[in-house]
Structure 1
Amino acid sequence: MNKPVLEFNKVTFNYRQNQDPILDRIDLHIQEGELVSIIGPSGSGKSTIFRLITGLEQPSEGDILVNGENSINRLGTVGYMPQQDLLMPWRTVLENAVLPLEIKGMKKEEAKVRVKELLEDFGLKGQENALPSNLSGGMRQRVSFLRTILSGSNILLLDEPFSALDAITRLSMQEWLIQQWIKWKKTILFITHDVDEALFLSDRIFVLQQKPITIIQEVTIPLGRPRTIRDISNPEIVSLKEQLIDQLRTKVSI
């Protein structure tokens, strides 16, 4: 059985003292090599969980373990890919991609050699000298994901990375992400508002209710791997999708 690489043990969090907690003594465990999605209404605490994992916030109570270690200083221990690609507009694809290696202290020329070896796998061969403004949305996200991979962490947090893409590009990026996940053998925690996306990508889905979150519902996806987008038309998956949508709908205040 794979070992847990990310654990929340009785974690409580609020942004200000004397304020109702957003998370209230929650437990969460993710195993090595899993791809887990988080879904929930806007404002339900999805991004708060990411901020706690990355170390940008600290729990009011409880423990957060990354790779078995309970450390207050978690900054830099996980790879993070935000919704916006945050590419530096004045840097080329190659110069953007080498940034995490430069931050680690690798010599610039050595970093460029390392990145050039990966460009073809990431669909970026021939684009190394292009500026972000000349790239499609899908290519920009590939650069962003390459940068996240080069952080060196075994845990990657992806915060709605495909939400700004058109439907066809988004589907292509989902299929591409699964290929990269299998190849790199990373553990991925993926925030999305798209139930189809969560069902297609995930081993498990964490469903967040409205605050305060006292328990995280876990849904195991009854699909094997490899899988294709057609698999989410399976009657069992369609039924599960309807259940999830109905459940999320009841939690949204209009």
Structure 2
Amino acid sequence: MRKPVLQFQDVSFSYDGKKTILDGFHLNVYDREFITIIGASGSGKSTLFRLITGLEKEEHGAIWLNGEQVKNRHGRTGYMPQQDLLMPWRTVLENAAVPLELAGVGKKEAASRILPLLNEFGLNGSEHKYPSELSGGMRQRVSFLRSVLTGSNILLLDEPFSALDAITRLSMQEWLLDQWEKREKTILFITHDVNEALFLSDRILVFQETPVQTLQEVIVPLDRPRSLRDLNDPAVVRLKDGLIDQLRSGGNKI
């Protein structure tokens, strides 16, 4: 039986009691899944993440993390935003250490945990560099390392590659899958790129018109490990075309 690590049970949420985003919403996410969330701008994707992280509070219902109904969810998940939010006055090592500092870990111990990870994150030899000295892909690797160092088994990635050039973005997608398989995390990933969603995901969840009660679920028909060439499979091409048509038409089911 699959183990649920994130559950929304009958959750409702609105902004200032006016714009209702979720209305009796249900969602189950299971251990070590890679879930991608797509939908039109303003449909509620980032609101979902804000509820998971505790930046917003549900009005009704319950949110469960790892089988526990959690009221204070701050720091219980790893979060990687669209912008890397690295502090320009801090080095790679110092930026990566932020979640450990917040947990009360001393500088020496933090460094001893981070330095062995730099090589597999493609950052070896960069520990004393500042963000301005890094490429876009390297900055995102630091941001992802920081989210991993929270220690959470649930990572939330909000369009983390959208600002990268096309080639770097493809490389980062492949690298992210390697890291996900190695670290055995559960990842929820927001994107507007249907190709990216199909390449990365076990399931794609589609936000449709608000208020939302459930998300449409699309199972990606690809085995793992997979390569970018697998996106040329006729079944995947048909699925891609259907998803794009659906997003363009405002949420009609494929």
Q: TM-score, normalised by structure 2?
A: 0.97
Aligned to 2:6: 6
Q: Deviation at 1:211?
A: 1.4
Aligned to 1:42: 41
Measure the CA separation in 2 of the matches of 1:44 and 1:177: 26
Question: How many aligned positions are there?
Answer: 251
Map 1:179-198 to 2 at 5 A.
179-198=178-197
Measure the CA separation in 1 of the matches of 2:70 and 2:123: 36
Map 1:93-112 to 2 at 5 A.
93-112=92-111
Q: Gaps spanning 5+ residues in structure 2: where?
A: none
Aligned to 2:156: 157
Q: Equivalent residue of 2:5, what SS?
A: strand
Measure the CA separation in 2 of the matches of 1:132 and 1:101: 19
Measure the CA separation in 1 of the matches of 2:113 and 2:61: 40
Map 1:210-249 to 2 at 5 A.
210-249=209-248
Aligned to 2:75: 76
1:160-205, Cα deviation, whole Å (9 max, x unpaired): 0000000000000000000000011000000000000000000000
Measure the CA separation in 1 of the matches of 2:126 and 2:223: 35
Aligned to 1:67: 66
CA RMSD in angstroms comes to: 0.9
Q: TM-score, normalised by structure 1?
A: 0.97
Identity %: 64
Measure the CA separation in 2 of the matches of 1:40 and 1:127: 37
Measure the CA separation in 2 of the matches of 1:26 and 1:99: 33
Q: Equivalent residue of 1:22, what SS?
A: strand
Q: Equivalent residue of 1:117, what SS?
A: helix
Q: Equivalent residue of 1:158, what SS?
A: strand
Q: Equivalent residue of 2:163, what SS?
A: coil
Q: Deviation at 1:20?
A: 4.1
Q: Deviation at 1:99?
A: 1.4
The letter of the residue matching 2:24 is R
Aligned to 1:123: 122
Measure the CA separation in 2 of the matches of 1:13 and 1:6: 17
Measure the CA separation in 2 of the matches of 1:13 and 1:108: 40
Measure the CA separation in 2 of the matches of 1:241 and 1:118: 36
Question: Deviation above 6 Å: which 4+ runs of structure 1?
Answer: none
Measure the CA separation in 1 of the matches of 2:228 and 2:177: 11
Aligned to 2:15: 15
